[in-house]
């Protein structure tokens, strides 16, 4: 079995908690090469996960043993780093969102086309077991045509996460977050709906606003903390979507797909992550995932899928084009 | 205790299953007087529930012992019958929808104003125990300000109901149903949201369509079988609503209200009809209703409320003005 | 839609509770014609279910409007009645067991071949929703090859059933029951295993005995009340089977199929009649059947399937040949 | 309280995880003396659990302070080590199976008789709380006579256990495992049935085969991975047994005992490890064991029972004679 | 099987709903002979349950075919009717309370002694399955000595029962009820504790009062609606008891017995009517009774037990002496 | 935010497990100063929790930076230490029981009055979430007047706790424990009832005894291990209470409050710590607390409440006067 080396640009949390450990666990990955503007951060990860560091991105580009690169740089740099990596002949896994504007995103896609290398974007909702199972059921078409859908993604807000737990979080800043809850949570569900329905949201009506969150000075935040949408797809399906940072109870990560012969309910019940209700009263409950504890953290599956696409020379499961399509829906929502 | 006589115009199913039995069970009602264009139908109900029949609506209007009238005539006649009844000094309980057009509805409201009598419309969602409890919790303001909401009303479609179970049902006909699922199910939830939030839907974006239902000839129906909406209220709350005749599994009659300190979930769980989740993790579950069986059919509460408003000389719980407001939202949805 | 007439030979309990009501409910059946040696019993059913009576089996055979006949005569007469009905050009639904000996059973099969008419035997386990779903899953082959199985059928004994509740029951008599619990319960599961596995039990080792039941005089019964078997199929699958009239607790009607990728558990849990456990820990639970009450008695599906085979000119789901194969396994068990 | 020294022959996994920690926890055990052909392994355990090491078995035999010996040597050496230990005046706890042949097993029994010392075999199923409770209920005879039984022991196979997780496991090798799943899992349940029923399996019919497992080269394994049996005991009870390495879902460790007045179900439900169903509908559920986690690993009870038999000068709960009887049933199954 | 005739004095509700149907269902009872001061009431029951009527109690006493008599007369007549019946050589089942005073009760006991006939009192709590099972467990002494206990009997009050549902109920009247909730509910639990503990309450401290109930005029009732007690038995056990007509939620009929090795909890959980918790953490749950519906009304067991005591010439399960003992405890509570 | 220093007298378990960690976690506490007669114990805690030690109580009294003192000395010293601390101008949190006699307790109260400082006693039952919620519901008076109550506090006994697990525990000694289970568990519930009912137990009848516990010599203990009480409050409510060290199953910490419109059940169900049952059948279940594990030990809330009373210059939630009132009830129980 041939193994490959990978490079990582940017050594923040997403690298530490997702990219580095999942690359390390992947049997096809030989060595991880870390780069960060701050060399200390790169060194820390190299110590924790093994591998080595470089002091410039060019070293990554010029190293012929490095086959693939994770672009975990901050959002405003993706169109520079991912583009260069691709043009230097590397496969790229770019963190979400693909870019801060449609124009820049298109530039990355052009680089991908030119290079012929794989470009994948980290939309990880597709990879959960329940979404995979829903996709499988829908592809088998046992429930008939899809008619309508509902999807939600909401929790108590990003300021309650992390070590700091402060309202000064970058999520609340216009210049860094750009799109508030729409870009933070909404884009995940837009991508998911495109994937599950094998369709594209063509038309969207939405309201959005900063209804409750305040910044560290007690002023309403500059980005939206809630979005509600009515949607129509190219194939004519209708649906609603709600994205929120103000669900002050349990998290809602649910999606429901209404078909001609039954209904698929995803993440409505903690034990049975997917439930199918049939027209004749049959109910089928899927227990797909163990309760996660600190001891059995599961992988997102994204890294494995990216590596698999390289090894098997296949198109990645989330392409740059798909990521662009989702970005455009977010733009429409916020316009 | 003084008791009153009531008249009923129209002796179809809604009279037989709701108005007549609930008037009969009400301790303030003395006699029911039935009218129908087809005298046989009136007689049949008089035999079943006691009371007497008349052969013209004028007899109802001219009978000074009759204090209140239920207008259960077909929708296109409401603006005639309810108007005349009011102008003849009767309190009126009008079936939903108040009328087939805004203009006609306004005419009924004018009659009400002129007469000074009570006009109530049969929007029965307000009266269920879970919605009453939600209203009580929201009025106490223990959860803080309302921020967003979701509401749904959907089932397998009206053709699966009733004795006939035929796709030739009037619900599917443009000329009789006018507004399809929007008027059948949607108006109930619009009224409910107005009531629970003590607010009004000011702006609405929607998609609607006939996605699946076909008529007796296999042609797509002329009215919508699905509606999806994004909404904004006068007070700035945002929400989504879905109304559907194509939920081919269990019925969805749920509503969720997101507040600053917690979430109210209504009709999400069959045993606990109302669940409150608090920001700090507390969960409060309300078992408000017994499972209904044939032996313990519960009253809708609408008739009792109407009679109570007359006895106590109060404004009815659902006024004509409120019904008109809901009608206008439906118009916007379908425009 | 062309409708047919059916005749029934024998008007005992199985006719009253299963054949007559299910023929009556079948949309393709026009008239039922009843025959019994005791004309009063035939008349009673004709009054209850509609239809008419005849006073000899020949009248059934000679009536050209009668297309199909249910042979509900006592077991020792099947080889006479079913044979004659077939040779007179009728489709035949024969009660189980097909016959009291292999030889007689083969005679019925010869008649079927000669006549070209359908011969179906009432092995109703195949028709339950859980067994149908198991068959569907196995045919799709999603669980890989079948390796082993377990099946059980046991309850507190036939003397606790019926109106009499007496140990003098014919089930306990050698001359009438022949094969005790093996023929009463065992043959159902033999047929089921053949059906689900698409295979045939080739070799069987068994013990049987009258371990507990006594007749009306307190003597051990002459037929077996328990059978335990180890089995091997033509395709090499191994399994165990237990048939018992001495399960003095809840009934056991369960079957488990062990495959290369998972396990199918049927009738192990009252709510989830079929449960699939996968190798990776996934569990899928199927709620297929409502709890049966007096008000929602379900059909066995056997009559409908028999009529469907006639209308569509197809081979019936349980053929005479299959019934003979199961009979032969019972013979081996008891030999 | 007088305390004793114990010796252990063989320092593999079974010593590390069961014998050493349970001896250490036993209040009557003073010192553990470890022997292994590889002195390093002995030393490692002496460090972990305290105690000392010797470099030859003779040192164990000749040490007068050592009263008892655990024979954890590999199976083909039991008849040598256990025999010598007994003849040198030590009580012996021999790992299962007692020996690789009936002849050798009988030799060990002869040594036990000659020495008058205790010989116990590690059949640990008897010691679980649910089996102990079942034994207690059966001895009280409140359910009447035992009539029939079912027992199963199956899981995904031994190759999925341990650190290696390889198909090269010794369990799959003819020369080391001898009897495949029959000796690995079957002998536990044979012993258990003998114990619970106070009876002996006299006659057994079985099928066995290597239906699914392959070795490290992809060839079918040489020992059986499945056994199915029909059984008859000396007292005339009938039963089935299934032993499997190919239950690709949850483990099955269940046993059911059918009596004249009710049924005992053991390990059918994770919370209620023993359930009694009575003829009149009563159900009694026993929650006997906590869910085991890494923090509350429970003892098997075997070591404590062995020590107790020595301290109290009683016959051990599992005698060599009983182990021999179970071995003979396995031989019959495989013949 | 010899069958007997029984007489019933008094044809009120307790006769109609309990005595008459249970005598009718008893296989040893041949004919029921009804007496009431109002002959119409007697006739009505004779028609409903079969049997005949008499017009004086003397006819019952003088009829040699009548072996046993139920005294269902009003409480103030028990000492007359039961005494005369006994002295005329009849076995007597007297409704509770045995009498309205200790003196009168003693008079009935004297008559019983003189006559040598059986006198049983209708304390039906002893006969429920859960109490029978508790008695069985305590007699086996598996939980060691009884140390303490708690018992409660409370519901929403007798005025919410029956057809009338009026506060004018005789339960609230001093002259008819005498002892309020103490005599209505308390005496049942006093008898039960005596029975379960095989002991006698020797000392009791109590508070009682009319805390909430009002009569038809809105005045506080003259008898107690609540009793709370601390108790000590002859054998030194300590316990509390609460009897209430003001438990405005679900009924509480629970009893807990604390022993040296565990706890018995009766009627704490609707499904598991008896739960045993052991010192070592074991929990044993008994499902003893089906949920009662209109279709499976269960017998109290009292009539059957009374008849059985006559047939077998045994002392009845609830003797007059025991009833007197319980009466004396009630006196102490109210003194 | 101004922060304060606190002193602790006595460095035993209650300081180590409750006072020190909760002071440390409180944002208003700057430094903890530890005193113990044994300076080593003080030093150990200062190392574990930060802070410093002193070698005499006077140093605490004379340190002007120390604003508050926890008196965790042994019971017989409270009237000395707490009194002196108060008279030296410190706020005092005194461990329960306030003192070993009414007289001494009154002396402490005098000191509090003289000093004008806060005196709080560690009755922690008031602070649990379920008791707080019950208080809130009762204060809102939604259930109407309180009529009766039941309360229990019992477990397997104090000898099963702690490291030693010995019957030589001081809890069993007359001279150290004084009041046995009454003072250990009973006083908690007396205080709780006073708090929840906003009332005072005026009259109490009780039995108590040493029914089961024995000391290290096998002799019955000198203090009571069980108390049963009937109680009456100043406002006329009636109730029972049971305190026990001999509940040999699960712990009982339950309280039930019966009101005119419903019932409040506290700690009857592990998931729903508070359940309200309403007269009309409504049931409201409160999940207030997570299951406690080693990782999410919750605070008692007592320290925070004490500090809060100081910061806000309010009366503490548990005053010395209230503690004295509860002590007096315990005296009556044992008299």
d(CA F95, CA F71): 6
Please tell me the distance in Å from B151's CA to the nearest CA on chain A.
11
With contacts defined as CB-CB under 8 Å, which chain F residues touch E233?
A: none
The more confidently predicted of residues E101 and D117 is: D117
With contacts defined as CB-CB under 8 Å, which chain D residues touch C209?
A: 236, 238
What's the pLDDT score for residue C72?
94
Q: Read off the DSSP letter of residue C251.
A: -
**Interface test mutation site (partner F, options E145, E153, E182, E228, max chain F beta carbons within 10 A):** E228
Residues E9-32 have pLDDT tens digits of 999 888 998 999 999 999 999 999
- Nearest to residue A212, comparing CAs of A225, A193, A229? A225
- Inter-helix orientation angle F320-334/F187-197, to 10°: 120
- Asked if the model's pLDDT at residue A292 lies above 80, the reply is no
- Asked if the model's pLDDT at residue F244 lies above 60, the reply is yes
What's the pLDDT score for residue F42?
95
Cross-chain residue pair C249–D278, CB shorter than 8 Å = yes
What's the pLDDT score for residue A266?
97
Nearest-by-Cβ selection for C228 from D240, D262, D278: D240
Cross-chain residue pair B240–A263, CB shorter than 8 Å = no
Is residue C332 less than 8 Å (CB to CB) from chain D? no
What's the pLDDT score for residue F199?
97
> Looking at chain E from residue 185 to 214, which residues have their Cβ under 8 Å from any Cβ of chain F?
203, 205-209, 211-212
With contacts defined as CB-CB under 8 Å, which chain C residues touch A283?
A: 286-287
The more confidently predicted of residues B275 and E97 is: B275
CB A191 within 8 A of CB A128: no
Cross-chain residue pair D287–E288, CB shorter than 8 Å = no
With contacts defined as CB-CB under 8 Å, which chain B residues touch A226?
A: 147-148, 238
Cross-chain residue pair D281–E290, CB shorter than 8 Å = yes
With contacts defined as CB-CB under 8 Å, which chain D residues touch C148?
A: 211, 226, 228, 242, 244, 246
CB F136 within 8 A of CB F143: no
d(CA C71, CA C8): 6
With contacts defined as CB-CB under 8 Å, which chain D residues touch C207?
A: 203, 205, 230-232, 238
What's the pLDDT score for residue D164?
59
**Interface test mutation site (partner A, options B156, B199, B206, B207, max chain A beta carbons within 10 A):** B207
pLDDT band at E76 (very low <50, low <70, confident <90, very high): confident
The residues facing A29 across adjacent strands are A4
Cross-chain residue pair D240–C246, CB shorter than 8 Å = no
Say which residues have a Cβ less than 8 Å from residue E117's Cβ, sequence separation at least 6: E86, E89, E90, E91, E92
Is residue E269 less than 8 Å (CB to CB) from chain D? no
Residues F106-144 have pLDDT tens digits of 999 999 999 999 999 999 899 999 999 999 999 999 899
**Percent of all residues in chain E with a pLDDT value above 90, rounded to a whole number:** 83
With contacts defined as CB-CB under 8 Å, which chain D residues touch E287?
A: 282-285
Give the three-class secondary structure for A78: helix
pLDDT string in tens for chain D (335-residue length): 589 999 999 998 889 989 999 999 999 999 999 999 999 999 999 999 999 999 999 999 999 999 999 999 988 899 999 999 999 999 999 998 898 889 999 999 999 999 999 999 999 899 999 999 999 999 999 899 999 999 999 999 998 765 557 888 888 988 877 889 999 999 999 999 999 999 999 999 999 999 999 999 999 999 999 999 999 999 999 999 999 999 999 999 999 999 999 999 999 999 999 999 999 999 999 999 865 444 445 678 899 999 999 999 999 989 999 999 999 999 999 98
With contacts defined as CB-CB under 8 Å, which chain E residues touch D141?
A: none
- Asked if the model's pLDDT at residue A153 lies above 90, the reply is yes
Half-sphere exposure at residue C139, Cβ-oriented, CA atoms within 13 angstroms: 9
- Asked if the model's pLDDT at residue A97 lies above 90, the reply is no
Is residue F279 less than 8 Å (CB to CB) from chain B? no
Residues of chain B with confidence (pLDDT) below 50? 292-296
pLDDT band at A175 (very low <50, low <70, confident <90, very high): confident
What's the pLDDT score for residue D289?
81
Instruction: Specify the pairing of strand F255-259 against strand F262-266.
Output: antiparallel
Please tell me the distance in Å from E257's CA to the nearest CA on chain D.
19
With contacts defined as CB-CB under 8 Å, which chain D residues touch E129?
A: 282
Residue D261 tokens read as 């007045």
Please tell me the distance in Å from B287's CA to the nearest CA on chain F.
5
- Asked if the model's pLDDT at residue C254 lies above 50, the reply is yes
The number of helix segments (H) and strand segments (E) in chain E equals 12, 14
Residue of D nearest to C232 (CA): D207
What's the pLDDT score for residue F293?
43
Say which residues have a Cβ less than 8 Å from residue A264's Cβ, sequence separation at least 6: A134, A137, A138, A143, A256, A257, A274, A275, A276
Q: Give the H or E element holding residue C22.
A: helix C20-25
Residue F214 tokens read as 């024995």
Cross-chain residue pair E272–D288, CB shorter than 8 Å = no
d(CA A78, CA B102): 54
d(CA C70, CA C47): 18
> Looking at chain F from residue 15 to 74, which residues have their Cβ under 8 Å from any Cβ of chain E?
none
**Interface test mutation site (partner B, options A212, A230, A252, max chain B beta carbons within 10 A):** A230
Residue range A24-34: average pLDDT?
Answer: 95
Against chain F, the chains showing at least 3 CB pairs within 8 Å are B, E
Q: How far is CA D293 from CA B164, D18, D296, D297, F110, in A?
A: 59, 16, 5, 6, 54
Q: Read off the DSSP letter of residue E116.
A: T
Residue of A nearest to C285 (CA): A285
Nearest-by-Cβ selection for C288 from A129, A282, A286: A282
> Looking at chain C from residue 114 to 173, which residues have their Cβ under 8 Å from any Cβ of chain A?
129
Cross-chain residue pair F248–E262, CB shorter than 8 Å = yes
The residues facing F239 across adjacent strands are F149, F231
* Phi/psi at E128 (5° precision): -70, 155
With contacts defined as CB-CB under 8 Å, which chain D residues touch C270?
A: none
pTM of the model: 0.92
Residue of E nearest to D289 (CA): E282
Against chain A, the chains showing at least 3 CB pairs within 8 Å are B, C
Residues F117-126 have pLDDT tens digits of 999 999 989 9
Residue A76 tokens read as 């405003």
With contacts defined as CB-CB under 8 Å, which chain A residues touch B278?
A: 248-249
Chain F and chain C touch, per 3+ beta carbon pairs within 8 A: no
- Nearest to residue C36, comparing CAs of C28, C26, C46? C46
Please tell me the distance in Å from F323's CA to the nearest CA on chain B.
31
What's the pLDDT score for residue A162?
54
What's the pLDDT score for residue B292?
47
pLDDT band at C331 (very low <50, low <70, confident <90, very high): very high
Residue of F nearest to B129 (CA): F282
d(CA E247, CA E228): 13
Say which residues have a Cβ less than 8 Å from residue C217's Cβ, sequence separation at least 6: none
With contacts defined as CB-CB under 8 Å, which chain D residues touch E285?
A: 272, 284-285, 287
Residue range A48-67: average pLDDT?
Answer: 95
Q: Max alpha carbon distance in chain B (Å)?
A: 63
- Asked if the model's pLDDT at residue F57 lies above 90, the reply is yes
Cross-chain residue pair E284–D283, CB shorter than 8 Å = no
Chain D and chain B touch, per 3+ beta carbon pairs within 8 A: no
Residues C206-224 have pLDDT tens digits of 999 999 999 999 999 999 9
Q: Read off the DSSP letter of residue E28.
A: T
- Asked if the model's pLDDT at residue F7 lies above 70, the reply is yes
What's the pLDDT score for residue F283?
97
Most confidently modeled of A168-182, C87-101, F158-172?
C87-101
**Interface test mutation site (partner F, options E144, E145, E220, E238, max chain F beta carbons within 10 A):** E238
- Nearest to residue D156, comparing CAs of A131, C280, C328? C280
What's the pLDDT score for residue B335?
87
CB A308 within 8 A of CB A164: no
Residue range A269-281: average pLDDT?
Answer: 95
Residue of D nearest to C256 (CA): D247
d(CA A242, CA F333): 61
Please tell me the distance in Å from A258's CA to the nearest CA on chain B.
6
CB D129 within 8 A of CB E281: no
The whole-chain average pLDDT of chain C stands at: 92
Cross-chain residue pair D226–C259, CB shorter than 8 Å = no
pLDDT band at C294 (very low <50, low <70, confident <90, very high): very low
Cross-chain residue pair E272–D286, CB shorter than 8 Å = no
Nearest-by-Cβ selection for A284 from C129, C282, C284: C284
Please tell me the distance in Å from E258's CA to the nearest CA on chain F.
6
Cross-chain residue pair F207–E211, CB shorter than 8 Å = no
Residue B141 tokens read as 């303001």
Q: Which domains does chain D have, with CATH numbers?
A: 4-122+302-318 (3.40.50.720), 125-296 (3.30.360.10)
The more confidently predicted of residues E262 and C184 is: E262
What's the pLDDT score for residue E171?
87
């Amino acid at each position: 079995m041939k193994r490959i080396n990978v490079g990582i640009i940017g050594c923040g949390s997403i690298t530490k908690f997702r990219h580095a450990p999942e690359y390390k666990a992947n049997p096809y990955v030989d060595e991880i090469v870390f780069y960060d503007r701050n060399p200390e951060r790169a060194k820390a990860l190299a110590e924790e996960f093994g591998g080595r560091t470089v002091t410039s991105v060019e070293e990554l580009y010029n190293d012929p043993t490095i086959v693939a690169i994770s672009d975990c740089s901050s959002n405003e740099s993706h169109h520079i780093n991912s583009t260069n990596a691709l043009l230097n002949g590397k496969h790229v896994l770019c963190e979400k969102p693909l870019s801060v504007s449609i124009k820049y995103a298109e530039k990355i896609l052009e680089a991908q086309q030119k290079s012929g290398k794989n470009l994948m974007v980290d939309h990880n909702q597709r990879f959960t077991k329940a979404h995979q199972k829903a996709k499988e059921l829908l592809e088998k078409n046992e429930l008939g045509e899809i008619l309508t859908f509902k999807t939600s993604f909401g929790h108590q807000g990003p300021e309650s996460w992390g070590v700091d737990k402060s309202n000064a979080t970058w999520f609340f800043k216009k210049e860094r977050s750009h799109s508030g809850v729409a870009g933070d949570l909404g884009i995940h569900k837009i991508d998911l709906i495109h994937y599950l329905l094998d369709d594209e949201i063509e038309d969207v009506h939405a309201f959005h606003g900063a209804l409750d969150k305040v910044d560290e000075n007690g002023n309403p935040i500059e980005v939206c903390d809630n979005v509600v949408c009515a949607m129509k797809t190219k194939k004519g399906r209708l649906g609603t979507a709600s994205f929120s940072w103000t669900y002050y109870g349990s998290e809602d990560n649910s999606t429901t797909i209404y078909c001609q012969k039954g209904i698929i309910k995803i993440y409505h019940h903690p034990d049975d992550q997917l439930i199918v209700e049939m027209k004749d009263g049959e109910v089928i409950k899927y227990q797909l995932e163990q309760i996660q504890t600190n001891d059995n953290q599961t992988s997102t599956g994204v890294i494995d899928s990216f590596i698999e696409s390289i090894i098997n020379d296949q198109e990645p499961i989330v392409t740059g084009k798909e990521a662009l399509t989702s970005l455009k829906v977010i733009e429409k929502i916020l316009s």
